[in-house]
Chain A
Amino acid sequence: MAKTENERRRSSLFFRFHIDLPLLAGILTLMLISLFVVYSAGSQNMDMVVRQMVRMGLGLFVMLLVAQISPFTYQKWAPHIFVTGILLLVAVLLFGDMGKGAQRWLNLGIIKFQPSEIMKLSLPMMMAWFLSKYTLPPSLKNTFLGFIIIATPTLLIAKQPDLGTSLLVASSGFFVMFLAGLSLRVLFGLVISVGAFLPILWFYLMHGYQKQRVLTFLNPESDPLGSGYHIIQSKIAIGSGGTEGKGWLQGTQSQLEFLPERHTDFIFSVFSEEFGFVGVLLLLSIYAFIIVRGMQIASRAQEAFTKLLAGSLTLTFFVYLFVNIGMVSGLLPVVGVPLPLVSYGGTSIVTLMASFGILMAIGTNKRLLAST
C-alpha cells in the first residue's frame, strides 16, 4: 500500500523537483495571509507588500535550491559548516556592526548578514550528525558532549546579545537530543539545573533592557507608557478583535497606530484584531498542518540523521510560532521573535525557507524511500 503510494508520488513532476506539495500548500497559504496583513498593518502601503513578495520569492527560490541537495551532502558537510558558523559568530563579536544596541551583523562589503541565522540550520545538522554516528539513545558522555555543542553557539549569540535567536538555536539543538532519546533522568536534571541557573542569568548575564523586558512581562500595567506599552496595546488589539474581528483594514489599534511594531513582531495582533478568534483558529490550524506534515516527513525518513534533522527543524518552527504568539498575547516576555512566514521582512524568512528546503529534500529523497 505504502509502496504504491510512494511509486505514484515518485513519478509526479513535483516529486522529481523535490517539492513536498502539502508543505508547499501550507507555506503559500501563510504567505498569502501575510501579504494581506502586511498591507493592513503597513498603512496600506503597496510598496511594503511588493517588497514582502520579493522577499518571499527569494525565499521560495532558496527553498527550491536547498531541496535539490541530497540530505547526505548535508550530513557530510555538517561539521564543517558548524565550525565555520562558530568562527563567524566569533568574528561578529569582534568586528560586527552595531544595530539597536546589539552586534548581530557581519558586513562583507557587498552584503550584511547575521551568522546566527546560519546557526539555526547548522546546529541541528551538527547535532544530528554527531548523535547519529552512535547508537541511539546517546550515551551519557555523548549527551554531555552534545550539550557543549549546543552551548557554544547559544552563548555566542546570547552575548551579541540576541536572546530570541539564541533561544531558537538552543531549542533546535535540544530537539535533536530529545528526539534521539535523551535520558529522561538527564532531562529532569536539566530542568532543575536551568532553574538553578536562572538567578545567575538574571544577575550576571542579562542586559538591562532584557531585564526590563522580563519585568514588564511580569507586570505590563506598571509602565503603561514605557516598556509596558507594547504588550498592553497588543493585548487590547487582540482582545478587542472578539469573535469575528473588526474586519480587514478596520482594526483601530493597528490603523490608528496605537500598536507598535505592527508589521513585524506584532503582526499577529493586527491579524487577531481584524479577523478575531475565528481567524486565529484558522491561522493556527494552518501552522498545525505544517508541523504535522513536518513530523510525518521526519518519521518516514529512514536514516537517524534525516529523522533527527527533520524533526528538529519542524519543532523549532513551532517554537518560533509559540514564542511569537505567546509574546504578543502576554504569556511570554517580549524577546523579538517574528511570526514565521507572516511577519514583514528580516533575514529570518530566507533561513526559514531554507529549512523547509531541507525538509523537502528529506521528504522526497528516493534512496530514503526506496529502502523501506
Chain B
Amino acid sequence: MRRNSYQMQDHTAEAHLFARRAITALIAVAALMGVLIANLYYLQIEKYQTYQTRSNENRIKVQPVPPNRGIIRDINGNILAANEPSFSLEIIPEAVTDMEWTLSELQLIIDIPDEQVEQFKRIIKYQRRFKSIPIKTKLTENEVAAFSVKQHLFPGVAIEARLNRHYPYTDTMTHVIGYVGKINKRDLNRLEREERIKNYAATRSIGKLGLERFYEEQLHGTTGSEEVEVNHRSRVLRQLSIEAPKPGTDLHLAIAVEMQEQAKKSLRQNRGAIVAMDPRDGAILAMYSNPSYDPNLFVTGISQKDYSLILNSKDKPMLNRTTQGQYPPASTIKPQLALLGLHKKLVTPETTVWDPGYWRFPNVETQRNFRDWKVGGHGWVDLVTAIKQSCDIYFYDLAYRLGIDEISPFISKFGFGDYTGIDIHEEYKATMPSREWKKEKKRQPWYQGDTISIGIGQGYWTATPMQLAMATSVLVNKGDVIEPKVVSATSVDESISLTPIKKRNPVVVNNPKHWDTILDSMYQTVNAIDGTARAAFVDAVYTAAGKTGTAQLFSLGEDEEYDASKINERRRDNAMFVGYAPYDNPSIVIVVAVENAGGGSANAAPVAREMMDLYFSMGLANKRNISTEIINVEETELAEENNGG
C-alpha cells in the first residue's frame, strides 16, 4: 500500500514496531557481545597458563653451547693445539625458504667457491635441519661487513663467532697431535652408536688423528645449553639464561717443541722417524716422522687439490713412521738376543766365536755363506765385542743355536710384533716372526735359514721405531716393560694430574748381572775406541750408550759387493740407531731410523747425538715429574683401529 498523508495511525504503529525491533536487535548485540567476552575470558583467564606456555615455546629456544676444546701443551707450556676465534658464515637449513636462491645470492656477496657450495649441500643432507652449518669459515673483516649490511635479506643465515682449532707449529707436531676435522657421516654414526651424539649438538669438528682422535672424549668437554629469545625466523635476539658448558681436559706432553724442530732439522730431506722416550715412565720426549704436512689444512675441510697432493706424494707424509714405519730392526736388537743367549746359558761374557767373515751351517755339505758386514771378519769375538763392533757372525751362530722357538716368545716380551699401547690409534704391529706366523702368513714351513737372518734383525723381522724405543727401555730398566705414552699429564681447571705408568709383565733372566753385561756392551758401542757409535758421540758432555744398525732392504748375491752409488736410491740401506743417556741414570732413550741413508754409525747415530745434545743443553732431563702411580697391564691393550685417518 502506497504511503500517503493520512496514515498518521500507521506512523505511530511503525514507530512502535521499529522500537520493538531495535530492542530485539540490541538484545541480540548484547548476547553476541557476551559470546565474544565469554570466549575471550576462556582464552585469557581460563586457558591463560596454556597459552602463556605456548607463547614461551614460540619465543624461547634452548640451544646447545659448545664447550671449549682442551688445549694441548708441550713441556714448557707452549700451546701446540689452540682454539682461535674466527668468524664463519653459517646457515640453518630449517630457517631457509629457498636454499638455491640463498646460496647463489650469498656467492654474489662473499666469495664462496662452487666446490665449497657443493660440499655444503652434501653435508646438509645428513645433518639435522635445525643445526647451524658453516658454509664459509675464516671470514675476513670485509666479508663480515659486506654480509652484515644485507643480513636481513637472508633469513636463516648468520655470521657466527666460533673457536677453530689451530696448530701453531704446523707440520712439526702432526704425527703426534693429529688434527680435528669436520664431523662427517661416519663420525655421526659412531657418536650415535656410542650414545655421545647429544654432547655434540653444538660441535662442528672432531678429532680425526693422533691425540686429537685418541683423547676426543676428554678434549671435547661437556656441552652446555642456553635459553635464547628468537623471533619467528629463528633469529636469536638475546640470551635469557645459560647453563655453562664444561671445557675439555687440557693435555700436557713431555715433548719439547724444540726437540721436534731438531728432529725435523736433523732428518733433513730423508724419510725417517725419530722417537725419544723417558724410560722411567714411558713418556714420549720426541716423536717425529719425516716428511710431515700441515694439519691446519684439515681443520675446516681440506681442498681436493691439497689432499691429493699429500695423499699421492711418493714420500707418503701421511704415514706415521714412528708407529707405522715397519723397518727391519737390523743390529739394534743384538743386545736383546745376546741377553737371551746369556739367559739360556748358550754363551757367557767370556765365550768367543771365530769370525772369518762368513758363517755357514755346521754339518751341512752344500749351502750358502752368510756374510759379515766386515769383509774378512772380526777374528775371535766375545759378547761385548760382538755388540760394540756389531759382529754378524756371532749372532748368526747364536741365533742358529737358540732356534726360532726360543727367540720368538722371549723377544716378544720386549714388545715386538704387537701394539705398544701408545695413546694414538695410528699404529702397526709390525712382525716378530715365528713358526706359526710363517705358516699362517706365508703358507710355508720355517726354514733354518730364516732363523739366521733373525739373528741380525733382518729377514721377516720388522719393528716400528716406537717398538724399538720400548724394547731398548726394557734393557735400561733391567726387565721392566713400560708402555710408551704421549700424554704425561692432564689438567682440568688448573689441577694437574700425572698419567700413570703402564707396566707389563717384566722380562726375567736367570741372573740379573746379565743386564749389566748387555748395558756395558752398549756403553762400549758408544764409548770404546772401536765402538761403532763412538765417532758420533765424541766429546759429548753426557755419557751415552747405544747400538747402531744398518738394514739391508734387499739381498745381495753371495759374491756381490754392496755399492750404494750403484743402487736405486729407494733400495739403499736404512740407517738405524738406538741409544740412551745418561748411562748411569737414564732419562732418555732414543731411536733413529733414516730410510735409504746408508750405515747406521754414520747416518743415524749423529742424529741421535744432535737430539741428545739439545735434550741435555735445555735441561730437560731434570724437568719432569715422574708419576708414582703404576698400572699393571696384563694383556696388551690393542689399538682400536690400527689404520689411522
Contacts and interface: CB of A to CB of B under 8 A. Distances in A.
Given A239-B51, A256-B237, A322-B36, A135 B3 contact: yes
Nearest to A273: B55
A304 B17 CA distance: 11
Given A242-B48, A256-B229, A134 B2 contact: yes
B58 A258 contact: yes
Interface in A235-253: 235-243, 252-253
A277 B44 contact: yes
B29 A291 contact: yes
Contacts of A115: none
A137 B17 contact: yes
B58 A256 contact: yes
A70 interface: no
A9 interface: no
B540 interface: no
B231 interface: yes
Given A238-B51, A292-B26, A295-B25, 13 more contacts: A132-B3, A134-B1, A136-B14, A180-B21, A238-B44, A239-B54, A239-B55, A240-B51, A252-B56, A253-B55, A256-B58, A256-B231, A318-B32
A242 B25 contact: no
B232 A256 contact: yes
A277 B47 CA distance: 12
A238 B3 contact: no
Interface of B: 1-3, 7, 10, 14-15, 17-19, 21-22, 25-26, 29, 32-33, 35-37, 39-41, 43-45, 47-48, 50-52, 54-56, 58-59, 229-233, 237
Interface centre among A298, A325, A330 (most CB of B within 10 A): A325
Contacts of B56: 252
Contacts of B22: 179, 295, 298-299, 311
Nearest to A241: B44
6 contacts: A240-B52, A256-B231, A272-B44, A284-B37, A304-B14, A331-B36
A331 B44 contact: no
Contact of B44 (A133, A243, A253, A295): A243
Nearest to A175: B25
B36 A284 contact: yes
Nearest to A325: B36
Contacts of A223: none
Contacts of A180: 18, 21
Contacts of B230: 256
Interface string A285-301: 00010011001001100
Contact of B35 (A256, A298, A308, A331): A331
Contact of B17 (A136, A238, A241, A298): A136
Contacts of A329: 36, 39-40, 43
Interface in A120-142: 132-137, 139
Interface string A169-191: 00000010011110000000000
A239 B47 contact: yes
Contact of B43 (A137, A239, A256): A239
Nearest to B11: A304
A102 interface: no
Contacts of B51: 235-236, 238-240
A88 B216 CA distance: 76
Contacts of B35: 331
A315 interface: yes
B55 A236 contact: yes
Contact of A307 (B18, B29, B54): B18
Contacts of B39: 326, 329-331
Interface string A315-340: 10010001001100111000000000
A239 B52 contact: yes
Interface centre among A240, A253, A292, A299 (most CB of B within 10 A): A240
A288 B44 contact: no
Given A175-B25, A243-B44, A243-B45, A257 B232 contact: yes
A239 B43 CA distance: 5
A252 B44 contact: no
Contacts of A243: 44-45, 48
Given A239-B50, A240-B52, A253-B55, A281 B37 contact: yes
A71 interface: no
A240 B237 CA distance: 20
A326 B33 CA distance: 10
A276 interface: yes
B548 to A, nearest CB: 75
Contacts of B18: 136, 179-181, 298-299, 304, 307-308, 311
A331 B232 CA distance: 25
Contact of A238 (B25, B40, B229): B40
A53 B33 CA distance: 28
Contacts of B36: 284, 322, 325-326, 329, 331
Contacts of A134: 1-3
Given A135-B7, A295-B22, A315 B44 contact: no
A235 B17 contact: no
Contacts of B37: 280-281, 284
Interface string A205-239: 00000000000000000000000000001011111
B10 A135 contact: yes
A240 B3 contact: no
A236 B25 contact: no
B55 A237 contact: yes
B60 to A, nearest CB: 9
B40 to A, nearest CB: 5
A105 to B, nearest CB: 29
Contacts of B2: 133-134
B45 A242 contact: yes
A288 B55 contact: no
